Amino acid sequence: MAGLVAAKKCITPLVVIKRLSSPEYKAQAAYHKKVVDHYENPRNVGSLDKTSKNVGTGLVGAPACGDVMKLQIEVDDHGKIVDARFKTFGCGSAIASSSLVTEWVKGKSIDEALTIQNTDIAKELCLPPVKLHCSMLAEDAIKAALHDYRLKQKDGKIEAVKASN
């Protein structure tokens, strides 16, 4: 029953206020309103200082479609993600997926952020099957950014031990 409710939510018709010509209407109707919102009003676009020990950077791509996604997360001293930024080269669904995950990871711990799955992203944005690779890229970008952050933390501990010897 829950799947039916989610399906009904995803296939609601697009409300168009202005009269669109045929090519414009087809472009608007191809994406769910949540994708269009994140595409037209992307959240957290930009970069963080990749050299900072508190910033993890994930760069992932899908050679088949040409989408490339860079996600950066900033983690405070308590292990909480305090900021996230992205830059994406790709379709509207790839940009929307990137924008959404930057909102979702903020305020989460590293372990909580790792629980975000591509299926959650796809469901939230109502992505059609042909665009599921965009949500997979976003999940991979989160994992890559967190992996980079953890490597920097490990390197910092090794340097501190070497300095104390």
- The pLDDT of residue 64 is 75
- The pLDDT of residue 62 is 80
- For the question of whether the overall pTM of this predicted structure is more than 0.95, the answer is no
Active-site entry in 10, 65, 91, 126: 65
- Indicate if 134 belongs to the active site: yes
pLDDT mean by block of 10 residues, the chain; 165 residues: 45 42 50 90 95 96 87 96 96 95 97 97 94 95 97 75 55
Q: Judge whether 157 lies within some domain.
A: yes
Q: Judge whether 146 lies within some domain.
A: yes
- The pLDDT of residue 29 is 52
Q: In a 10 Å sphere around its CB, with 0-12 CB exposed, 13-18 middle and 19+ buried, how is residue 120 labelled?
A: middle
- The pLDDT of residue 11 is 44
Domain ranges, residue 57: 33-163
Query: What CATH number should be reported for the domain holding residue 113?
Result: 3.90.1010.10
- Indicate if 10 belongs to the active site: no
Q: Judge whether 47 lies within some domain.
A: yes
Number of domains in the chain: 1
What separation, in Å, do the N-terminal and C-terminal C-alpha atoms of the chain show? 62
